Amino acid sequence: MIGLGSGAQMIQAATLVGVVLLEAVVLYLGYGALSNVVGEPLVERIRTL
């Protein structure tokens, strides 16, 4: 049986999970955009090193 805490603890734990989820999505989109910008030039730079 899953032992759940008080309402405040549950809200705090759910917020924590939400923050990690949000950070992950922001990082996915942010790094995705970054790699679109610098990915190709970086590979070209390595190819011509």
Query: Which residues are near other proteins by CB under 8 A?
Result: 2-5, 9-10, 12-14, 16-17, 19-21, 23-25, 27-28, 31-32, 35, 43, 46-49
Minimum distance, C-beta of residue 32 to other proteins, in the bound complex (Å): 8
Minimum distance, C-beta of residue 31 to other proteins, in the bound complex (Å): 5
Residue 5 and residue 13 in contact, taking contact as beta carbons nearer than 8 Å: yes
Minimum distance, C-beta of residue 19 to other proteins, in the bound complex (Å): 7
Among 48, 24, 30, smallest CA distance to 38 is for 30
| 10 Cβ contact list (under 8 Å, min separation 6) | 4
